[in-house]
């Protein structure tokens, strides 16, 4: 056991070293960490309240008083972007968590039991994937009602097949391994086998997909907010801020630029981070070096 523990520690150290040697992944981690810190310390960093209005400063350009300028109500855009990071990251993390948990559970069941169970779950995934994801999200929010919470639920639902199919394919491969056959031979229960052996050996692709999926969820939340189906006024969600600023594109372009660049940088950070995690956890990448 001690030898095995030392081997695992060595592998972990090697993986961490490989990750930080991946310069784009390190840049992604820095971007993600930056926006997470901005979200956490928004109350300390924001110079104004998110709903403090000053009509005298309406559509004022960036200045020392208002770093990102003001919107059509004279609200400080910098303060609203900071608090918007909280909402966007909240939706991204928790929608991804929900879809990962549900998709992993369904994928485990489908891949392990096979037969009609696999057929039923796979057909459900196929039906969901037959619809463009944003249209399916719009339909779900239209049924539940427009709100940030319902947008989170919709985003979690539409991403379940992504995780489900990934885990199913992994389980189909793992359950033919010799150690799984040995576990069956000694009478290990199916549930224990899935939890003790199959799930831990399926975690690497789940982690990679989850990292990439957070960025996708942030874009989908912004899209729903832009369409008026996500966060509602006066919440400073980035997509909603873009929608509110659209009539002032020519007159006050900064009202769109700063929320838009925040979405772009956050999603870019998660994409670069996901690529780095994938390269770190992919055994074929390790063998190639």
- pLDDT < 50: residue spans in the chain: 1-8, 10-11, 285-289
Q: Is residue 230 part of a domain?
A: yes
Nearest Cα residue to 151 out of 238, 81, 76: 238
Q: Is residue 224 part of a domain?
A: yes
For the chain, give me the number of helices (H) and strands (E)? 14, 0
Q: Is residue 10 part of a domain?
A: no
**Looking at the DSSP assignment, which residues form a beta bridge with residue 76?**
70
Classify residue 68 by its DSSP letter: T
Nearest Cα residue to 20 out of 273, 289, 288, 253: 273
How many domains, in total, are found in the chain? 1
Provide the pLDDT for residue 118. Answer: 87
Q: Is residue 58 part of a domain?
A: no
Q: Is residue 171 part of a domain?
A: yes
Provide the pLDDT for residue 19. Answer: 61
Q: Is residue 57 part of a domain?
A: no
Q: Is residue 12 part of a domain?
A: no
- Looking up residue 256, the CATH number of its domain turns out to be 1.10.3720.10
Give Cβ neighbours of residue 29 (< 8 Å, ≥ 6 apart): 269, 272, 273, 276
Nearest Cα residue to 38 out of 94, 76, 67, 81: 81
d(CA 8, CA 16): 12
What's the pLDDT tens digit per position in 139-177? 999 999 999 999 999 999 999 999 999 999 888 888 777
- Token pair of 11 as six digits: 């592998």
- Token pair of 175 as six digits: 């359950």
Provide the pLDDT for residue 123. Answer: 92
Domain that holds residue 149: 30-49+76-287
Burial (0-12, 13-18, 19+ Cβ within 10 Å), 191: exposed
Provide the pLDDT for residue 160. Answer: 94
Classify residue 70 by its DSSP letter: B
Provide the pLDDT for residue 41. Answer: 94
Give Cβ neighbours of residue 26 (< 8 Å, ≥ 6 apart): 19, 20, 276
d(CA 207, CA 275): 11
d(CA 33, CA 39): 10
Q: Is residue 98 part of a domain?
A: yes
């Amino acid at each position: 056991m001690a030898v095995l523990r030392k081997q695992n520690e060595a592998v972990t150290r090697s993986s961490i070293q490989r990750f930080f040697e991946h310069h784009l992944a390190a840049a992604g981690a820095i971007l993600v960490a930056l926006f997470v810190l901005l979200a956490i310390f928004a109350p300390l960093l924001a110079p104004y309240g998110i709903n403090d209005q000053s009509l005298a400063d309406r559509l004022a350009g960036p200045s020392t008083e208002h770093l990102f300028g003001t919107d059509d109500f004279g609200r400080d855009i910098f303060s609203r972007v900071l608090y918007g990071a909280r909402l966007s990251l909240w939706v991204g993390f928790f929608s991804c968590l929900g879809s990962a948990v549900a998709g992993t559970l369904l994928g485990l069941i489908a891949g392990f039991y096979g037969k009609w169970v696999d057929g039923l779950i796979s057909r459900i995934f196929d039906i969901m994937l037959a619809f463009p994801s944003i249209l399916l999200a719009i339909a779900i929010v239209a049924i539940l009602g427009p709100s940030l919470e319902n947008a989170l639920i919709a985003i979690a639902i539409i991403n379940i097949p992504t995780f489900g199919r990934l885990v199913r394919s992994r389980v189909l491969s793992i359950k033919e391994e010799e150690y799984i056959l040995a576990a069956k031979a000694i009478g290990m229960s199916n549930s224990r086998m899935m939890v003790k052996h199959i799930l831990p050996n399926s975690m690497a692709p789940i982690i990679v997909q989850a990292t990439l999926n957070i960025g996708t969820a942030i874009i989908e939340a912004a899209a729903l907010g832009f369409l008026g189906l996500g966060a509602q006024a006066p919440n400073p969600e980035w997509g909603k801020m873009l929608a509110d600023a659209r009539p002032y594109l020519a007159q006050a372009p900064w009202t769109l630029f700063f929320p838009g660049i925040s979405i772009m940088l956050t999603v870019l950070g998660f994409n670069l981070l996901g690529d780095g995690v994938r390269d770190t956890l992919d055994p074929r990448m390790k063998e190639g070096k």
